[in-house]
Amino acid sequence: MTIPVRREQPLPDRSAGLAHHFDDLEQQHAAGSLGMWLFLVTEILFFGGLFAAYAIYRWQYPAAFAVASHEADLVMGTINTIVLIGSSLTMALAVHYAQLGNRKAVVAFLILTMVLGVAFLGIKGAEYHHKYLDNHFPGPDFVFPGPYAQQAELFFIFYFIMTGLHALHMVIGIGLLSTVAVLAWRGCYSSEHFAPVELAGLYWHFVDVVWIFLFPLLYLIDRHK
């Protein structure tokens, strides 16, 4: 019995950026984005625990949460929402130019995205500073006039932990984008190989999505009262 000899396959074109365990860049790209999405799903649940805790306490102390939420700076919060969604637009454009292989436009839009991200963190920092001066930072110095001092402190614990964790993600996102921007500037990506730009973009957009939910839950409770 003769064993059929398998015809030698022609070696695939090992283009730049292709890891040895993938057949081609398309397969590598699909695996990369699936992996990134699986990570983002764990992030949904990471923030989800806080959203669940928030839901319980908001349900238990609706009046106190409404009063405390009025202390959140609506103007700064709205400006920050616009800044962050704007940064998602510039991020989407950076990926767009990466697909077209326009190196300079990719770097320019990545820098613009980071500038908007830093602006968001600056406004957030100013808000934190105001809260600190108003003695609304949870702890022994917390002061909240009216009958809801304790429950309002609970609201501000949620406010600081949720926005703080979100801000931490922004800092990580800016770190990712700066790395990708340097590599893009050095010409490491092409219209064939740009997965790192797209995956960093997925992370950035995810952080935007978290804020889209945080904004109404923290800043907009019963504003009509």
Partner 1 sequence: MSEHIVQKKTYFAIFLTLMVLTVTTVWVATIDLGPFNIVAALVIAACKATLVLLIFMHVRYSPRIIALCIFAGILWLALLIGLTLTDYLSRSWIASPPGL
The residues of the shown chain that bind partner 1, judged by CB under 8 A, are 25-26, 29-30, 33-34, 37-38, 40-41, 44-45, 48-49, 51-52, 55-56, 59-60, 74, 78, 81-82, 85-86, 88-89, 91-93, 96, 99-100, 191-194, 198, 201-202, 205-206, 208-209, 212-213, 215-217, 220-225
Least Å distance, CB 47 to partner 1, is 9
Shortest distance in whole angstroms from residue 223 CB to partner 1: 4
Residue 168 corresponds to which tokens in the numbers above?
């931490």
Distance of closest approach, residue 220 Cβ to partner 1, in angstroms:
4
Alpha-carbon distance 191 to 195, whole Å? 10
- Please, what is the minimum distance in Å from the beta carbon of residue 108 to partner 1? 14
Tokens of 65: 């949460």
Rounded-to-integer distance, Cα 156 and Cα 197, Å? 36
Pick between residue 100 and residue 182 the one whose CB is nearest to partner 1.
100
> In angstroms, what is the minimal distance from the CB of 83 to partner 1?
11
- Count helices and strands (H / E) in the chain: 6, 0
Q: Quick one: 118 or 217, whose CB is closer to partner 1?
A: 217
Distance between CA atoms of residues 219 and 198, nearest Å: 31
**End-to-end CA, the chain:** 88
Place of tokens 């697909």: 99
Displacement of CA 159 from its chain's centroid (Å) = 17
**Between residues 157 and 202, which has the closer beta carbon with respect to partner 1?**
202
Query: Rounded to an integer, what distance in angstroms lies between the CA atom of residue 94 and that of residue 116?
Result: 14
CA dist 123 and 120 (Å) reads 5
Residue number with CB closer to partner 1 (137 or 157)? 157
**Beta carbon nearer to partner 1, 143 or 172:** 172
